[in-house]
């Protein structure tokens, strides 16, 4: 696909993620994606630090995607994988398993600061990774408001049970770090990986 403004072909990669938000962020910086389905066990290992956890999952997703496209003899484009975790008191908050779990996460985040860690990996046989950390401070969220937010459907597939790009933005008093990293893909780090792979975006 050609960029009409500059007449340059847009970058193309595989994306080992079903997240529409990651696909939208890549499109924002001029990268077209083809989805590749991967199956990775996302359970943290015993004693695994949150940083190690998200880096491991990003690497495993990218590597599994590379194996899949290689086995299918598809064009050998780079494969990008990513993983995001909300961390509070050293505990990893992934996606809620049900309504009760999601409401409990929101109650725990209410009125305090937490960390959002997003790792991104790019595989072309060998895998390179980057890690983004953002600190997010929430205002107090009342019980009725938590229930109303859950009922929007937005928190169900989000790490930490909120989406900063949606209604969840109403809870955010302050962030220090990468907004796109909280959404699910830190664009500065992603751009570094793509540039190192010879993919020019500008």
CATH number at residue 38: 3.90.950.10
Strand intervals (E) in the chain:
2-3, 8-9, 11-15, 31-35, 79-88, 91-93, 113-123, 127-138, 172-176
If one counts the domains in the chain, the total is: 1
pTM over 0.85: yes
pLDDT band per the 50, 70, 90 thresholds, residue 7: low
Q: Is the pLDDT of residue 163 over 60?
A: yes
Q: CB count, 10 Å around CB of 67?
A: 14
Query: Does the annotation mark 41 as catalytic?
Result: no
Secondary structure (3-state) at 146: helix
In a domain, 115, yes or no: yes
pLDDT, residue 8, reads 60
In a domain, 62, yes or no: yes
Residues in the chain: 202
pLDDT band per the 50, 70, 90 thresholds, residue 72: confident
In a domain, 201, yes or no: no
Active-site hit among 3, 32, 41, 83: 83
Q: Is the pLDDT of residue 145 over 70?
A: yes
Q: Is the pLDDT of residue 124 over 70?
A: yes
In a domain, 126, yes or no: yes
Q: Is the pLDDT of residue 1 over 60?
A: no
pLDDT, residue 6, reads 54
Q: Is the pLDDT of residue 148 over 50?
A: yes
Q: Is the pLDDT of residue 2 over 80?
A: no
Tokens 């969220």 correspond to what residue? 141
In a domain, 202, yes or no: no
pLDDT higher at 8 or 86: 86
In a domain, 157, yes or no: yes
Give me the domain span that covers residue 92: 2-196
């Amino acid at each position: 696909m050609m960029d009409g403004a500059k007449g340059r072909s847009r970058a193309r990669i595989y994306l080992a993620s079903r997240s529409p938000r990651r696909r939208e962020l890549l499109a924002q910086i001029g990268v077209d994606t083809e989805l590749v389905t991967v199956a990775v066990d996302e359970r943290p290992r015993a004693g695994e630090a949150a940083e190690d956890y998200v880096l491991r999952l990003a690497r495993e997703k990218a590597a599994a995607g590379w194996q899949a496209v290689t086995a299918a003899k598809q064009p050998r484009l780079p494969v990008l994988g990513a993983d995001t975790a909300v961390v509070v008191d050293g505990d990893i908050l992934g996606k809620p398993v049900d309504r009760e779990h999601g409401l409990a996460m929101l109650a725990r985040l209410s009125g305090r600061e937490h960390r959002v860690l997003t790792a991104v990996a790019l595989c072309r046989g060998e895998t390179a990774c980057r890690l983004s950390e953002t600190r997010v401070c929430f205002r107090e969220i009342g019980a009725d408001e938590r229930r109303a937010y859950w009922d929007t459907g937005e928190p169900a597939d989000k790490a930490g049970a909120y989406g900063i790009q949606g209604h969840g933005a109403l809870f955010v008093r302050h962030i220090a770090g990468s907004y796109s990293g909280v959404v699910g893909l830190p664009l500065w780090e992603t751009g570094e990986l793509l540039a190192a792979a010879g993919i020019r975006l500008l």
